[in-house]
Structure 1
Amino acid sequence: MNAWMRRKRGKWMSLFTLLFAVSFALAGCSQSQEGGGTNGLVREQKSEASGEGDRKKVTIMMNFKSGSLDPSNSYTPLRAGVVETLVRLDEKLVIKPWLASKWEAINDHTWAFTIRDGVTFQDGTKLDAGAVKASLERAVSASKPLSAALKLSSMEANGQELKIVTTEPHPALPSELVSPYASIISVEAEKKMGTKVFNDGPVGTGPFQVKQFTPNIAISLQRYEGYWNGKAKVEEIDFKFNEDGNVRALALQSKEADIVYQVPAETVEAIRQDSSLTVDSVPSLRVHYLLYNQQKPLVQDVKIRRAFDLLLDRESVAKDIMLGHAKPANGPFHTSLPFGSEDAIQSLHAMEAKKLLEEAGYQAGADGKLSKNGTPLVLQLLTYKGRPELPLIAQILQSEAAKIGVDMDVKMVENIDTYLRENKDWDLVTYSNVSAPRGDGGFYLNSAFVSGGALNPSNLSSDKVNEVIARLNATSHVTKRVQLTKEAVVAINDEVLQSFVVYPNNIVGRNKRVTDWKPGADDYYIVTNRMDVK
């Protein structure tokens, strides 16, 4: 490990130790605090341990906050077990029935879905094809990404049978219905409650219903007694949000939280020293990468993008930042997936990067700084703390760029997606997304590389990539889809449309009192009716 990384890890561990001490100092001097703070929850768990409470409860802490529970624009209601989709992925990433018991393609444009009988919304009303139709109509109206993904032309409901007609042949429609944005809610309940109230507590079909929602802080969930797939074993869930990785780790160690998502890699060993806790490090479907703003003339030049790709030390990120809880990336899809790239991992080559910048017209001055026509080469690099390794990746890139005379202004952003939508002044961003959320590469390719896609804030476009994606969208043959996905990846890498850094593991801390639950490669199904506590 280099000296820079040792200093950086030292700062992280010092901060962790300080926060830990402060947390317990506050716990000792603020006995009257209630609500979302550490003290109230510590007292509550002590009460349960002494037998004063007999309700089963689990506290979960997530790394991203949520300001709304509108399922058409938030993954949180699905993750929290409030809503469900027509189909879902199993542990092997195979599409399985959920609210739809079966489906079939009638022709190239038409699908028939049978809606599961005996399911009710959390207000007791029956789920039928008419309710699903109304929900999907609302969803595509509220979500442009979902509308683009589903390509709906019309729907017809008859009892428990829903017929969906698409605007074009759409063999991937069932997999697109895995999307959390396609979660089924009661539109009738929304009409009665009003949209604003409904978005703080949507009425779905899941095992838990919203008791109270404090935007960006927490959701209080209670068991839905009429759940169709078996009443949940746990009666209450506190679903909390905190973007600070060290605070999340402290919450687990202090027993404030039972399940904590994305604990920082450097806290894993300390957590494991507590025999009542464990950490699951599971290969995910996610990729950390550099997103280029190709609306900026500077990074429209493929030589510039290729230069920054060569400045990424992928091996160091996986080993020194992620401490082995990640794998160096060579494309958008994890190498274990059938459509992952087989290319070698790109190594750090600073001098080759400098040579490319010189070919693009930049020359070093007496101070060693690169400039072109008297203008220094300075870029704005955005990052965010929802995933604690991303700011460190930004700092490593900034350090390597400085060595060859390139200045990078690293800017920490509070809400990265909102910032990218509303601002165009950035050049690069350390970004992260689930790239195979449907067990297939089609979603990511369409969302990230097609103009107007949900994951394409810079509106990048490549004629070659678009042509491959069009062929992918027109076929349902699995082997052919794998082949075309690989072809698209080759074109993406050739043009350096994005620079892929690592495939991170899902690092999830858990109190061993939680049973019949484990994290998966997906980020979708967190709260279930099967999870229990000792």
Structure 2
Amino acid sequence: MKSKKSLVFSILIVMLLIITGCSSANEKTTSKESGEKSVTMLFSFASETMDPHQDWMGVRAGVAETLVRIDDNLEIQPWVAEAWERKDEKTWTFKIREGVTFHDGSPVDGKAVKASFERVLETNEAISSSLKIESMEADGQEITFVNTEEYPAFLSELVHTNTSIIKADAENIGEQPIATGPFKVESFISETEVNLERYEDYWDGAAKLEQVKIKFNSDGNVRALALQSGEADIAYHLPPESLEPIESNDKLRVESVPSLRVHFLLYNNANSALQDVNVRKALDLLVNRPVAVEEIMNGHATEAAGPFNPNFAFAGETEPTSYDPEKAEELLKEAGYQKNADGKMEKDGKVLTLKLATYPGRPELPLLAQYLQGEAASVGINIEIITIESIDSYLWEQQDEWDMVTYSNLTAPRGDGGYFLNVAYLPEGALNPGQINIPELNKLTQQLNTTADPEKRMELQKEAVSIIQKEVPHSFILHPHIIVGVNDRVKDWEPGSEEYYLITNKMDVK
């Protein structure tokens, strides 16, 4: 398998070098002829809609904004709201910044913010569940929220991009939402591209760029080639094996930023074989994390021992699981499996066969799937790989069609693990298509949700990580770096670890 991979990578590098030699990184950069300041970005995940209440691209594209945001240190800062106060255990009051307007020029006040939240609570069940809003009251530039229960995490949940403030009664929100960001949507083609133009009356100062184009392409190698040919100024989520010709080009640079996400195997609890913790532990032992970091990610990652980046104090102290196929076989035998005459693991006359879904939006995930397939075959497990473009809809809408998935999630996007514990492990969680239900973990997460003391929250999160490591509902592989290729003409911009704020009013071009 390794030799085949190396051959493919070698061919790819040759292709990249040829194309690089034939084209300059500045030949096709957009808008040079017109004199306008603009940027073209290639992004890996296509947006079906520009509705900020349904898709992250509203905030990522600089079209929409939330009441609060996080900074580079993952600390919560004002945004559309300039101040807030927690009145009691369930009540929060936010003061809306004076001078903020929607893209149609209408002012943003408490009433407009209330209407925006009423819409998202009605149209986005997952956000409605996570916000726990019982009632809202608007008064001038203020809005007051009352939660259904004591909920210290409410403030951090307002960072979520789907809580964006938009004009709720606008038409065609899916294609041209009217929001408050430095850019407004000029045109949008679903799953293809979005074209943005500067909003001149933006409250924090008009953007330096006049236009931005964001194009969607799930093929990482195509994104890398487009950067080298000058067709794109910024290309997100580049394959590590494509970096050499970019790094050697004096007009381009590579930004590699440690992320707040984890790549992992998500197990479908609906599969009877995977309901056995010994089977899940066996699969976990077949994950060769050092190989994944060094050979697949070319060192642009950190081995994972749990869901949270090890730099977080609440990540736990357990070391990553060591690769051990012999122990994996022992655990499978404890689960009742024996090798048949063909060397396949079999139980009750049925060979252990699992369907593993993956997706190309993050180009390393299919490679991780192939590695696992090979390691599993060595101990007698059949793994069938299927590649899906729209992975999230597939996992939820066809839950009986898959057994495992190579997946990737932000786990502590606001510097706290409560988000991931709620959405990934509670039975009703928005990121729980695997139908995980661990009563001990559920109880602890509910306790965390009503705990405000930082030290107590940290201890509860450590306990949660210990339960997760014991039950293995997921196999955590690595914490990837965000690998972005950038043309040197782009200045005053760098990718953030939170992956929220891609287009800003401060970014510029030479």
Shorter-chain TM-score tier: over 0.9
Task: Please report the RMSD computed on the Cα atoms of aligned residues, expressed in angstroms.
Answer: 1.7
**1:397 counterpart residue number:** 372
SS in 2 for 1:414: coil
Unpaired segments of 5 or more residues in structure 1? 28-37
Letter in 2 for 1:520: G
Q: Distance in 2 between matches of 1:147 and 1:155?
A: 13
Deviations 1:299-332 (A, max 9, x none): 0111110110001001100011000000000000
2:210 to 210, 235, 257: 235
SS in 2 for 1:421: helix
1:350 to 325, 330, 343: 325
Q: Distance in 2 between matches of 1:383 and 1:503?
A: 17
1:55 to 29, 32, 36: 36
Q: Distance in 2 between matches of 1:209 and 1:13?
A: 42
1:514 to 467, 490, 494: 490
1:220/1:42 CA distance change after superposition, 3 Å: farther
Deviation at 1:44, TM superposition (A): 6.0
Q: Distance in 2 between matches of 1:315 and 1:428?
A: 21
Q: After the TM superposition, which parts of structure 1 deviate over 3 Å for at least 4 consecutive aligned residues?
A: 15-25, 41-45
SS in 2 for 1:88: strand
Q: Distance in 2 between matches of 1:465 and 1:44?
A: 51
Q: Does 1:87 align with 2:68?
A: yes
**2:421 counterpart residue number:** 445
Checking the alignment, whether the CA contact within 8 Å between 2:68 and 2:159 is kept in structure 1 is yes
Q: Distance in 2 between matches of 1:336 and 1:240?
A: 33
Q: Does 1:527 align with 2:508?
A: no
Using structure 2 for the length normalisation, give the TM-score.
Answer: 0.97
**1:482 counterpart residue number:** 458
1:422 to 397, 400, 405: 397
Checking the alignment, whether the CA contact within 8 Å between 1:20 and 1:250 is kept in structure 2 is no
Letter in 1 for 2:77: K
Deviation at 1:20, TM superposition (A): 7.4
Q: Does 1:11 align with 2:8?
A: yes
Q: Distance in 1 between matches of 2:195 and 2:122?
A: 28
SS in 1 for 2:173: helix
**1:33 counterpart residue number:** none
Q: Distance in 2 between matches of 1:213 and 1:399?
A: 42
Q: Does 1:144 align with 2:125?
A: yes
Matches within 5 A, 1:70-469: 70-188=51-169, 190=170, 193=171, 197-423=172-398, 424-469=400-445
Deviations 1:419-451 (A, max 9, x none): 101112211110001111122111111000001
Q: How many residues align?
A: 509
Q: Distance in 2 between matches of 1:72 and 1:500?
A: 29
Unpaired segments of 5 or more residues in structure 2? none
Deviations 1:441-462 (A, max 9, x none): 1111100000111100122110
Using structure 1 for the length normalisation, give the TM-score.
Answer: 0.93
Q: Distance in 1 between matches of 2:460 and 2:315?
A: 11
Q: Distance in 1 between matches of 2:20 and 2:140?
A: 55
Deviations 1:99-145 (A, max 9, x none): 11111111111111111111000000000010000101111111111
Q: Distance in 1 between matches of 2:270 and 2:441?
A: 18
Deviations 1:331-369 (A, max 9, x none): 000001121121111111001111111111111112211
SS in 2 for 1:382: strand
Percent identity, please.
Answer: 48
Deviation at 1:168, TM superposition (A): 0.4
Letter in 2 for 1:253: Q
Deviation at 1:42, TM superposition (A): 5.5
Checking the alignment, whether the CA contact within 8 Å between 2:28 and 2:229 is kept in structure 1 is no
Deviations 1:155-185 (A, max 9, x none): 0000001010010011111100000010110
Q: Distance in 1 between matches of 2:186 and 2:277?
A: 51
1:272/1:15 CA distance change after superposition, 3 Å: closer
